[in-house]
């Protein structure tokens, strides 16, 4: 005959039978737990919670710090605002605003444990009862405060929000003030730099005597051009004079310089030549008629000699004059060359001076542009000092709560029922497992592995 294997462990029928047999115990434990919870709820002090909603908005660009905000940073920024709300700085402002250190309770604590410990406990009590949390996917922060009375919860919650807004405004104004002081120092340096360059430019203009840096050099160039043309003319005249001087020198060597047109055409020499020719003619006639020793012939010879001497002197004087012309033209040429060199040097100096003035002007314009840009930025900083980069709006002020937040009676009683049933079931099962009894058919079949021939009584 084949053997039949029976399952091990407890079946649901066995567990139900155990619980049914111990149902009074389960209900008793549940009832006791419910009653104990009710007693605790009656004894527990009431706590009241008031909450306020604050909307946090900010500009995409902070005019004070120049920081650029991004939507990706919303969560971290809101978490920072939550930390500020829960910070000691806000709590200390609440203590000062509500004058909590002037209350008798605080003074009693100071008398008992000292001012430092009492103040630390006061700050810790407010911080522990304050809850600030940013709503999901939102820029709204909920600020809640729990207190022993509804009015206290309302007042503290509203005061925490006001202290937070004041602290945020102070942080923004401090940043603007710090940046304003930095810009003041920078503006002073830039202003001093502009004044320095302007003074140097004015001093240099006074030194070189140039008022208009854009003044053209047409007059100087025209003067140099005129001098250059005069120099060319003098050079040509000097070459011509040198040519005439060479011709005169050749005629002097040949003994007939008066034949030179420039010399022979001069009126004194022309007159002397005419008189000399007339004396030669008369001398020739006298020789032919009177003889060489006649007094008249002798007188005419003396006259001719005197005329020849005078003509030689005039020719010599004219030749000397021609030589002086060459020297005069050479001296004039040198003077014009020297004057051209002076004018060119002065023109180059003026150009260099204008270049220096242009460099000063470029430095001045650059410094003025930087100063103007810094001044505009400084104006933005001053405006931003009165406008906070963070815009805080109280969407909902804390109101006096109508029901306490602690203890939660309904939820606590419901939880006590569930906990009591669980404890009752655990106690029933522990008793059943400690002393096993036959509660159902499965106890024989599974536990003792005996065949069941029949059942008497109610089958459940």
CB 410 within 8 A of CB 19: no
Separation of alpha carbons 292 and 328, rounded Å: 48
Element (H, E) at 102: none
Weakest-pLDDT range from 34-43, 80-89, 436-445? 436-445
Of residues 438 and 207, more confidently modeled: 207
Question: Percentage of the chain surpassing pLDDT 90?
Answer: 1
- Write down the domain spans for the chain: 1-44+409-453, 218-386
Name the more confident of 216 and 296. 296
Rounded Cα–Cα distance for residues 327 and 242 (Å): 10
pLDDT tens-digit series, residues 45-96: 777 788 899 888 766 555 545 555 555 556 777 888 888 888 899 989 999 8
pLDDT for 317: 72
Tens digits of per-residue pLDDT, 6-20?
A: 444 566 666 676 777
Task: Please give the biggest Cα pair distance in the chain.
Answer: 219
Entry pTM: 0.49
DSSP class per residue in 136-193: TTSSEEEEEEEESSHHHHHHHHHHHHHHHHHHHHHHHHHHHHHHHHHHHHHHHHHHHH
Q: What is the pLDDT of residue 7?
A: 46
Q: Which CATH class is domain 218-386?
A: mainly alpha
Strands (E), 270-401: 390-396
Kindly report, residue by residue over 152-192, the tens digit of the pLDDT. 889 888 999 999 888 888 887 776 677 777 777 777 888 88
What percent of the chain clears pLDDT 70, i.e. is strictly above it?
Answer: 70
Q: How confident is the model at residue 441 (pLDDT cuts 50, 70, 90)?
A: low
Kindly report, residue by residue over 327-384, the tens digit of the pLDDT. 777 788 788 888 888 878 877 777 777 778 788 788 888 888 887 877 777 666 666 5
Q: What is the mean pLDDT of the chain?
A: 75
- Say whether 10 sits in a helix, a strand or coil: coil
* Model confidence pLDDT, tens digit, residues 388-416: 445 788 888 888 887 776 666 677 778 87
pLDDT digits (tens, 9 = 90+) for 111-123: 888 888 989 998 9
- Residue range 96-124: average pLDDT? 88
Helix ranges (DSSP H) in 86-114: 88-97, 104-113
Nearest Cα to Cα of residue 385 among 65, 90, 57: 65
Banded model confidence at residue 455, pLDDT cuts 50, 70, 90: low
Alpha-carbon Rg for the chain, nearest whole angstrom, is: 64
Q: What pLDDT, on the 0 to 100 scale, is given for residue 5?
A: 44
Token pair of 157 as six digits = 């919650």
pLDDT in tens, 243-267: 766 766 665 555 565 555 555 556 7
């Amino acid at each position: 005959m084949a053997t039949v294997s029976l399952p091990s462990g407890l079946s649901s029928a066995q567990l139900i039978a155990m619980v049914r047999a111990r149902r009074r115990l389960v209900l008793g434990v549940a009832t006791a737990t419910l009653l104990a919870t009710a007693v605790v709820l009656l004894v527990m002090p009431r706590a009241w919670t008031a909450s306020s909603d604050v909307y946090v908005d900010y500009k995409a660009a902070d005019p004070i710090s120049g920081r650029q905000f991004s939507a990706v940073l919303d969560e971290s920024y809101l978490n920072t605002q939550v930390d500020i709300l829960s910070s000691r700085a806000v709590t200390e402002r609440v203590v000062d605003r509500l004058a909590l250190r002037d209350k008798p309770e605080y003074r009693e604590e100071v008398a008992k444990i000292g001012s430092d410990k009492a103040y630390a406990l006061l700050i810790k009590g407010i911080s522990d009862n304050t809850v600030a949390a940013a709503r999901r996917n939102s820029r709204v922060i909920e600020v809640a405060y729990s207190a022993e009375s509804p009015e206290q919860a309302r007042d503290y919650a509203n005061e925490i929000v006001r202290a937070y807004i004041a602290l945020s405004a102070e942080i923004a104004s401090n940043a603007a003030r710090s940046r304003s002081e930095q810009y003041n120092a920078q503006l002073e340096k830039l202003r001093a730099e502009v004044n320095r360059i302007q003074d140097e430019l004015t001093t240099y203009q006074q030194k070189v005597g140039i008022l208009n840096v854009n003044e053209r050099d047409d007059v100087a160039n025209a003067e140099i051009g005129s001098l250059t043309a005069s120099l060319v003319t003098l050079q040509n005249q000097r070459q011509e004079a040198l040519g005439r001087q060479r011709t005169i020198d050749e005629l002097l060597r040949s003994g007939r310089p008066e034949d030179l047109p420039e010399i022979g055409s001069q009126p004194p020499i022309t007159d002397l030549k005419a008189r000399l020719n007339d004396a030669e003619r008369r001398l020739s006639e006298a020789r032919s008629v009177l003889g060489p020793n006649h007094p008249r012939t002798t007188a005419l010879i003396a006259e001719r000699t005197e005329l020849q001497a005078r003509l030689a002197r005039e020719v010599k004087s004219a030749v000397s004059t021609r030589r002086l012309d060459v020297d005069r033209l050479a001296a004039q040429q040198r003077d014009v060359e020297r004057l051209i060199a002076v004018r060119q040097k002065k023109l180059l100096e003026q150009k260099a001076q204008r270049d220096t003035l242009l460099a000063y002007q470029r430095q001045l314009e650059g410094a003025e542009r930087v100063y103007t840009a810094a001044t505009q930025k400084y104006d933005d900083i001053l405006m931003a000092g009165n406008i906070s980069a963070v815009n805080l709006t109280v969407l909902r002020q804390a109101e006096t709560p109508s029901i306490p937040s602690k203890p939660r009676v309904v939820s606590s009683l419901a939880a006590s029922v569930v906990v009591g049933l669980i404890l009752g079931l655990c106690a029933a099962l522990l008793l059943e497992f400690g002393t096993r009894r036959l509660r159902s058919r499965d106890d024989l079949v599974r536990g003792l592995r005996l065949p069941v021939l029949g059942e008497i009584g109610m089958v459940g």
